[in-house]
Chains A and B, each alone.
Chain A
Amino acid sequence: MSEPSTVIAYIDLKSPYSYLALTPARHLAWDCGLTLDWRPLSLDLNEMVGAVTERSPRQVAKLKYLYMDARRLAEPQGLTIRAPKQVYDSTVANIGMLYAQDQGAFFDYTQIAYARFFDRALDPGDAEAVTAILAEAGVDTAGFAAFLAGAGQTRLAALAEEALAQGVFGVPTFIHDGELFWGTDRLPLLRARLENA
């Protein structure tokens, strides 16, 4: 029996489309017998959609559309997306994702963290709040403060460097055999690749 395929999946805690990608990606993994290598990636939103005070009319229109579209996609999944009131730095929550993943609690952690963030009940840069979520997800949080200050930062930065080198510019992005698939919209194409492999 051949090795299961691995698909790298880059997501960001503050990205609504990343939240919406979790379940469809899992279904694809189950259907195709593949391993998902989830990796947090902190996007510089100011670069992508403009700093709040400097947004062009087009960026304003696009952002309004993206949250409307995300809510529209969230409905069949039974999820809630409330647009955040400011641009957050999700580094702490993303490092929390790595910590949870190391302890086998990736899905428990992300389910709580995403739901809370998109209910406007979480500042993803708040270490105390993220630690509380880790605990809720059944993770032993004793080493998190040190991880957050040290190894977590290093690993997140290394993942970001690797992502950029692979051509990743946005989330969610899936990579299989060096080919990039940006957005849940491209999961059917990824499925076709896997089924033809």
Chain B
Amino acid sequence: MTRPVLTHYFDYKSSYAYLAQEATFALAEQYDIELVLVPYTIDIPGYLGSARVDAAGNVLEEQRNAHQWRRVRYMYMDCRREANRRGLTIRGTHKIFDSAIANIGYLHARRQGDFRPYHDRVFERFWKRELDIEDPRAIAAVLDESGLDGRGFADFLAGPGREEYDRLQAEAIAAGVFGIPSYVFDGELFWGAERLPRVRERLMSR
């Protein structure tokens, strides 16, 4: 009998995705299911506008209206209180990062074996502001450190990695995924780690 599959969509630049990892992996472990992680790059400027701030948090430039600022401030507060509760570090970003390279790094990692050390390191270090996820060499270094092949990453990124990533993105959009973190179980979509108890209910009632 095949194990049920839980697909989890994540993006390294999503603080909510970072906060969701612990509960996601715990659920998979508890219920002997196949957890499939799929990177999905969210277009933050598309719905929250964008802004660049300096080290002191002063806005240098912005394309963001008052409503979007209220949302962004709430999200930072909301993520920070949860991070504080769990002893994690989430530091504000000074700009919106392009996470495609790091997300493709995940694809390179999972081809080779255990992606977990890479995955956990990228999330933790990005949110501590210790990793520039836009730098392919920095990503390659994390791959190496995680016991995987960092040298082949540049070629993968330029060719098959980018293709796989684009294909996965298109498939996710076709499946209705619009936000991160998301889960699909048995064709049903769940947005947010807040819905994990619902996913658990589905798993229990199989």
Task: State in angstroms the CA–CA spacing of A56 and B194 once bound together.
Answer: 25
B198 / chain A contacts, CB cutoff of 8 Å? 72
In the complex, what residue of chain B is closest to A188 when comparing beta carbons? B194
Report yes or no: A58 in contact with B67, Cβ–Cβ below 8 A: no
Measured between C-beta atoms, what is the minimum distance from A68 to chain B in Å?
8
Instruction: Report Cα–Cα, A177/B198, bound state, in Å.
Output: 30
Closest 8 CB pairs of A and B: A169-B70, A185-B194, A61-B178, A62-B178, A169-B71, A58-B178, A167-B70, A61-B176
Question: For residue B70, which residues in chain A have a CB less than 8 angstroms away from its CB?
Answer: 164, 167-169
Interface flags, A156-197, vs B, CB<8A=1, else 0? 000000001001111000000000101101100100000000
Among B70, B179, B192: residue with most chain A CB under 10 A: B70
Are B176 and A47 closer than 8 Å at their CB atoms?
Answer: no
Which B residues are in CB contact (< 8 Å) with A167?
70, 73-74
Interface residues, chain B, with chain A CB atoms under 8 Å away = 43, 46-47, 65-67, 70-71, 73-74, 77-78, 81, 173, 176-179, 189, 191-192, 194-195, 198
Chain A contact residues: helix, strand, loop or mixed: helix
Residue ID in chain B nearest A50 by CB atoms: B47
Residue of A nearest to B177 (CB): A61
> Which residues on the A side are within 8 Å of B178 (C-beta)?
58, 61-62, 65
Q: Is the CB of B46 within 8 A of A58?
A: yes
Does A48 lie at the interface of the complex (its beta carbon under 8 Å from any beta carbon of B)? yes
- Residue A69 CB within 8 A of the other chain: yes
- Complex Cα distance, B69 from A169, in Å, reads 9
Closest beta carbon of chain B to A48's beta carbon, Å:
7
- Tell me if A57 is interfacial: C-beta within 8 Å of chain B: yes
